Amino acid sequence: MELLSAFSDVPGIIAALIVSVDMGLITLETRGRRVVAAFIVALVVALDVGWSVFSADAILREYAYFAAMLPFLLMTLAFRRSDLPRYLFALCLLVTLCHLMMMLPLYFYAVFGLSGPYMLFVGLVAAVVGVAIEHALVGKRFAEMQDDVKKGWNSTCICATIGTVIMLVPVCFVNAENLVYILMMDAFTIALMLLMFASILMFYFQVRQQMVRSHELEIFRLQREQQEKADMRYREQEAAERKRRHDERHMLQVIIDELQEGKINDAVAHLMAIRGDIPTPKMQYCRHNGVNSMLSLWSQRAEQEGIEVTIRADVPEKLEIDSMELSTMFGNLMENAFEGCMRLERKEARRYIDLRVTYKAGKLICQEENSCRKDVVIVEGMPITQKHHGGGIGTHSIRDTVTKYGGMISFEAEDGIFTVRFMMAV
């Protein structure tokens, strides 16, 4: 009977380790730490059971775990996850919960006279219920609070430490005559400590909900502003495009006349002026002449700016799609990638363009990836860019071409990497 009573604290000791990990008081991410933790728990159990069995004072045996838990407290100090004030606050909460779990068998002994297997059973039930309640109500939420709250831990941990000491003091004066009275006082202080911790946690969660709500409203406001700016740039670009098409009609008529009169060099010079570029040698990336021209043009322009370019393109010479539409789509794709890289300083990050195109079973599959600024965001499936001249027209053109031929397209921007994926049956 006495031996079973001595083991009544063991479930509470094991529960203390589980709760400390669940609350984020300590971290056991390495195998070495887990081995040390297992050894410390075994040592604490041995000290507690040995003291309870071999101590001559019956009352002394009931709170032998205070001294036996010292190695456990030293382990939490060595393996603590946060700085000292946050650690002390979490430790006070742990001590309060474990004190309640390990004192319950003593309550039953004092009130009902239960001992032996009954005390062990009560200790086991208290440990299981205590761990379950802690995991459901505290657990990861308390660990999140430890990470989120940056200030105020010094005063908070002082209050918690004083309350914990007051809670533990009555046990030092317990004896056979005043056992019930001391336990009632202890229960009252435990209840006050739990109420204090619950109030702090409730206050934190209310403040956090308000902060999350404010953050969501701020994001919505920024998205709306970005959308308004994008709409304005689109309208400006549309007006500029109408003017350009109007002027190009006259330029094209001049080029036609020059070709009819055999002035080839003059016509080529005018076409280059319209394109706004200098002559560049053409690379051979794929069999489709129009797409290859766009890839060659923008890859060489990117390389001139120190941008790494990798292109693996398998585009057949003839497809069930207008050649000009397909060429324009890849021109817009490469131009957007080029502009995304150009917004980065050379020393700021690695600037690169990676294009992969395959054609299988009548489907053209493309993935383009390039470096970009980290402030590029995706709203309703479309990127909000920071172009200086309109912007967004090329992206919308790519999407319209893909959807026109029954394809699917997606845009992603994460950690300074912009990715376009599309598939179309052509």
Residue 269, domain member (yes or no): no
Residue-wise pLDDT tens digits, 250-307: 667 778 877 888 888 877 877 777 666 545 556 788 988 888 888 988 999 999 999 9
Residue 236, domain member (yes or no): no
Mean pLDDT value across the chain: 79
Q: Do 394 and 296 share a structural domain?
A: yes
Q: Which of 115-124, 219-228, 244-253, 411-420 has the highest mean pLDDT?
A: 411-420
Q: Do 288 and 198 share a structural domain?
A: no
Question: At which of 215, 240, 270 does a domain end?
Answer: 215
Q: Which of 34-48, 248-262, 354-368, 384-398 has the highest mean pLDDT?
A: 354-368
What is the domain count for the chain? Answer: 2
Residue 263, domain member (yes or no): no
Residue 268, domain member (yes or no): no
Residue 256, domain member (yes or no): no
Instruction: Tell me what pLDDT residue 307 has.
Output: 93
Q: Do 80 and 178 share a structural domain?
A: yes
pTM for this predicted structure: 0.44
Instruction: Tell me what pLDDT residue 397 has.
Output: 86
Q: Do 185 and 63 share a structural domain?
A: yes
* Domain CATH for 294: 3.30.565.10
Question: At which of 187, 215, 243 does a domain end?
Answer: 215
Q: Do 211 and 334 share a structural domain?
A: no
| Terminal alpha carbon distance of the chain | 83
Domain of residue 165 covers 2-215
Instruction: Tell me what pLDDT residue 115 has.
Output: 67
Residue 189, domain member (yes or no): yes
User: Letter for the amino acid at 426?
Assistant: V
Residue-wise pLDDT tens digits, 91-107: 888 888 877 777 777 67
Q: Do 65 and 150 share a structural domain?
A: yes
Q: How confident is the model over 110-119, as a mean pLDDT?
A: 68
Residue 140, domain member (yes or no): yes
Rounded Cα gap, residues 331 and 294, in angstroms: 5
Contacts 24+ apart (CB under 8 A), 367-370: 367/419, 367/420, 367/421, 368/333, 368/334, 368/337, 368/419, 368/420, 368/421, 369/417, 369/418, 369/419, 369/420, 370/337, 370/340, 370/341, 370/417, 370/418
Q: Do 134 and 8 share a structural domain?
A: yes
DSSP annotation of 281: P
Residue 264, domain member (yes or no): no
List the single range of 136-140, 271-275, 332-336, 390-394 with lowest mean pLDDT: 390-394
Question: At which of 182, 215, 248 does a domain end?
Answer: 215
Q: Do 293 and 175 share a structural domain?
A: no
Q: Which of 158-167, 178-187, 312-321 has the highest mean pLDDT?
A: 312-321
Residue-wise pLDDT tens digits, 75-90: 888 888 778 888 888 8
* pLDDT higher than 70, residue 32: yes
Task: Identify which has the larger pLDDT, 227 or 153.
Answer: 153
- Cβ-based neighbour number of residue 358 at 10 Å: 14
Instruction: Tell me what pLDDT residue 388 has.
Output: 42
Residue-wise pLDDT tens digits, 163-187: 878 777 766 665 555 556 666 766 7
Q: Do 148 and 8 share a structural domain?
A: yes
